[in-house]
Amino acid sequence: MIEPPIFTRKEAGALASPPPSLRILNLGAGVQSTTLALMAAHGEVGPIPDCAIFADTGWEPTAVYDHLAWLMSPNVLPFPVHIVSAGNIRDNLLEAAKGRRWASIPALTRTVTPAGATVPIFDEDEDGHLVPVSTRVTASERIETGMIRRQCKGADKIVPIRRKVRALAGLTRRRSPRHPVVEQWFGISLDEVVCRKPSREAWQFNRWPLIQQRMTRHDCLRWLDRHGYPRPPKSACIGCPFHSYAVWRRMRDEDPGTWLDAVAVDRTIRTGLRGIRGEVYLHRSGVPLDEVDLSTAADHGQLDLWPNECEGLCGVGDRKSISHARCGALIGGRPGCAACS
């Protein structure tokens, strides 16, 4: 396996520049960013950040806010954590259902054209624009699905963090310097290396200490376990359409209040969103959230014999492997077999 380079040429050039005047950690309060913050506190990565910034969407699970409060409690992190917000994403969704402007989320849309409906036929005019030229009658029902463009991350995470970073660096309403004055840390691990993106701003340099340490998400969990720290909850909005079936199922079974809140929002945003044709759903299946089949194969009588078959010879647990998630065995409720984890 070819390991990704630790630095690109541009990043190496930024490191060779004069040291930045400010180091900031992007804190999502999930597994990777929590591990990175605590590793900095232990002196295992450095130099130590001047502060961390958490972007609050206003619709995180209670467990995330509890975990964030623990991180901000005395004697946990040796640097302050700033909380920024662009508003409450849940309230914004409810307002969007009334036709107000909104930062769109990657929800699924479902449009049904019944049989016998008259639909337009389009062609290009001389300028290359699509114009209706005729109509036709559908012979059968047609169902179209799609995903709405994702704007929430930029509006509710990136923009407020950037605004705070510039304020801390003394760049508010000032011309940006042409050399890096801020070093921003991101909790992206080796198994997420494709998410690594250099800064588009000359005054800011992005850094990924977990990738430099060759640490995967599983390595982060093991580091937290070794040091006796609690495992962080999944940091994502309650109604994030990117949730897996397992996350939705866990929410329904373990946090009924949060589940009912997500169901209510899902029902409210079905229609009325500006610029959206068809019905909108939080779940990727295009079905009302409280009607989605979240059952597992085991619920239908399928036996899971894989844990008894794994002999620790798959090599997935090797520290140099890109991901441990391929190992299907479960030890103590976590991925990994006895020999390779």
Residue 321 has pLDDT above 50, yes or no: no
Distance CA 96, CA 88 (A): 12
User: For the chain, what is the mean pLDDT?
Assistant: 83
pLDDT in tens, 61-79: 999 999 999 999 999 999 9
Helical pair 62-71 and 31-41, crossing angle rounded to 10 deg = 10
Residue 169, pLDDT score: 92
Residue 2, pLDDT score: 42
Residue 277, pLDDT score: 83
Closest to 182 (Cα-Cα) out of 49, 27, 40: 49
Closest to 239 (Cα-Cα) out of 146, 144, 149, 106: 106
Query: What percentage of the chain has pLDDT greater than the value 70?
Result: 83
Which of helix, strand or coil describes residue 14? helix
Distance CA 285, CA 243 (A): 12
Residue with the bigger pLDDT between 128 and 107: it is 107
CATH homologous superfamily, domain 9-91+150-226: HUPs (3.40.50.620)
Work out the average pLDDT over 126-150.
85
7 pLDDT tier (thresholds 50, 70, 90): low
Residue 303, pLDDT score: 62
Single pTM value for the model = 0.77
305 pLDDT tier (thresholds 50, 70, 90): low
Edge-first strand listing for the sheet containing 279-281: 142-147, 108-113, 279-281
Report the amino acid identity of residue 302.
Q
Residue 329 has pLDDT above 70, yes or no: no
pLDDT in tens, 199-257: 888 899 999 999 999 999 999 999 999 999 999 998 899 999 999 999 999 999 999 99
Work out the average pLDDT over 139-157.
87
Domain ranges (residues) in the chain? 9-91+150-226, 107-147, 303-341
